Amino acid sequence: MVKKITIAIDAMGGENAPDKTVEGIGIFLKKNKNINDFQLNIFGNQKKIDEKLKNLNISSPLIKIIHTESTVSDEETPLAAIKNSKNTSMWNCIKSQLDQESDISLSAGNTGVLLVISRMILKMMNEVSKPALAGLWPNKKGINVVLDLGANIECNEDNLADFAELGSALYRSLYPKEQPLVSLLNVGSEEIKGTEVLKKTYKKLSSLSNENNFIFKGYIEGNKITEGDSNVIVTDGFTGNIALKTAEGTAKFITDNLKKSLSENILSKLSLIFSYFSLKRFKNKLDPRKYNGAIFLGLNGPVVKSHGGTDAIGFYHSINLCYNIVKGNLMQQIKKNLDHLKSE
Q: Is 2 exposed, middle or buried (0-12, 13-18, 19+ CB in 10 A)?
A: exposed
Whichever of 100 and 277 has its CB closer to a copy of itself, that residue is 277
Q: Which of 24, 131, 150, 301 binds a copy of itself (CB under 8 A)?
A: 150
Q: Is 237 in the site for a copy of itself (CB under 8 A)?
A: yes
Query: For 250, phi and psi rounded to 5 degrees?
Result: -65, -45
DSSP state of 140: S
Residues 6+ apart with CB under 8 A from 143: 136, 137, 174, 175, 231, 291
Query: Which positions from 158 through 197 interact with a copy of itself, judged by CB under 8 A?
Result: 185, 187, 194-195
Q: Which of 120, 143, 215, 247 binds a copy of itself (CB under 8 A)?
A: 247
Question: Minimum Å distance from CB 120 to a copy of itself?
Answer: 20
Asked whether 89 and 13 are in contact (CB, 8 A), the reply is yes
Q: Is 143 in the site for a copy of itself (CB under 8 A)?
A: no
Instruction: Find the DSSP H helices in 32-179.
Output: 46-55, 78-84, 89-98, 111-122, 157-174
Span near a copy of itself by CB under 8 A; candidates 156-164, 232-240, 297-305, 336-344: 232-240
Q: Is 270 in the site for a copy of itself (CB under 8 A)?
A: yes
What distance in Å separates the CA atoms of residue 30 and residue 245, rounded to the nearest whole number? 32
Asked whether 24 and 53 are in contact (CB, 8 A), the reply is no
Whichever of 35 and 254 has its CB closer to a copy of itself, that residue is 254
- Cα 155 from chain centroid? 20
What distance in Å separates the CA atoms of residue 328 and residue 326, rounded to the nearest whole number? 5
Query: For 8, phi and psi rounded to 5 degrees?
Result: -90, 120
Measure Cα distances from 116 to 79, 82, 122, 299, 303 in Å. Answer: 8, 8, 10, 11, 12
Q: Is 295 in the site for a copy of itself (CB under 8 A)?
A: no
Q: Is 262 in the site for a copy of itself (CB under 8 A)?
A: yes
Whichever of 64 and 280 has its CB closer to a copy of itself, that residue is 280
Q: Which of 69, 261, 309, 339 binds a copy of itself (CB under 8 A)?
A: 261
Q: Which of 36, 55, 207, 250 binds a copy of itself (CB under 8 A)?
A: 250
Whichever of 35 and 187 has its CB closer to a copy of itself, that residue is 187
What Rg value do the Cα atoms of the chain yield, rounded? 21
Q: Which of 265, 309, 339, 344 binds a copy of itself (CB under 8 A)?
A: 265
Q: Is 147 in the site for a copy of itself (CB under 8 A)?
A: no
Q: Which of 15, 37, 69, 264 binds a copy of itself (CB under 8 A)?
A: 264
Q: Which of 67, 124, 191, 222 binds a copy of itself (CB under 8 A)?
A: 222
Measure Cα distances from 252 to 168, 246, 326, 340 in Å. Answer: 29, 10, 32, 41
Query: Which positions from 71 through 90 interact with a copy of itself, judged by CB under 8 A?
Result: none
Binding site for a copy of itself (CB under 8 A): 138-140, 150, 153-154, 185, 187, 194-195, 221-227, 235, 237-239, 241-258, 260-262, 264-265, 267-268, 270-275, 277-279, 281-282, 285-286
